[in-house]
Amino acid sequence: MRRLLLGFVAVAAGLATSGCGYNKLQGQDEGVKAAWAQVINQYQRRADLVPNLVNTVKGFAAQEERVLVGVTEARAKATSIQLTPELINDPEAFKKFQAAQGELTQALKSLLAVTENYPNLKSDAVFRDLMVQLEGTENRIAVERKRYIDAVQAYNVTVRSFPSNLTAKWFDFDVKPNFTVENEAAISTAPVTNFDTSTPSQSAKPVEAPPATAPAAN
């Protein structure tokens, strides 16, 4: 009789938790974790490209030390943050992660701007291959960030909605931090490098007419 009663309680508890949103919260929580793992993978992929990119640029533009050092330092700061699943439950840690990745993004943009001044670098096969990989990685980052944003948005709505908010509070499902930028579209735009190494023709410049001279006196 006691075993039957315990079984009935277990079934009733299961029905109660599923009806009040527990299973949905559990599924969405796992979805957020999976999306976050993909975001981390792509940011790590970008970080892995940076040393080779910096060394390649240095071979052609060693005088751009300020920009090269800036990229190296930004990468070091971004990779110093421990990317654990718990980070998405800590708003302050998540904010620091986002800021560090943003600094690396800006540093890479500065580096690409500098490379425009070095046609020989832009025609180098290693550099071109690295840039193709970087552009592809930035595209993947944009895609995975969007998936994470959508997953967190859906999860947070469930956490805040009645009656699932009661279940969330009871089982410690808290609202998760999300990416917040002033212009997500701009951040999500992959860098584009022009590999056209031609230089403007000098003949294209307008030729100034020689100054008029007074006629010689007889």
Question: Does residue 172 come out as left (phi exceeding 0), alpha (psi in the -120 to 50 range) or beta?
Answer: left
Count Cβ atoms below 10 Å from residue 98 Cβ, excluding itself. Answer: 17
For 22-192, CATH gives 1.20.1440.20
Contact assessment for residue 100 and residue 15, using Cβ atoms and an 8 Å cutoff: no
Q: How far apart are the first and last CA of the chain?
A: 137
∠ CA 181-131-143 to the nearest 5 degrees?
Answer: 40
Mind listing the pLDDT tens digit for each residue in 26-75?
999 999 999 999 999 999 999 999 999 999 999 999 999 999 999 999 99
Q: Report the candidate in 127, 114, 125, 137 with the shortest Cα–Cα distance to residue 191.
A: 137
pLDDT digits (tens, 9 = 90+) for 140-155: 999 999 999 999 999 9
Task: Please choose, from the candidates 37, 40, 31, 34, the residue with its C-alpha nearest in 3D space to the C-alpha of residue 156.
Answer: 31
Give domain limits for the chain: 22-192
Q: What is the pLDDT of residue 19?
A: 56
Count of helices and strands (H, E) across the chain: 8, 0
d(CA 23, CA 164) in angstroms, rounded, equals 10
**pTM given for the model:** 0.74
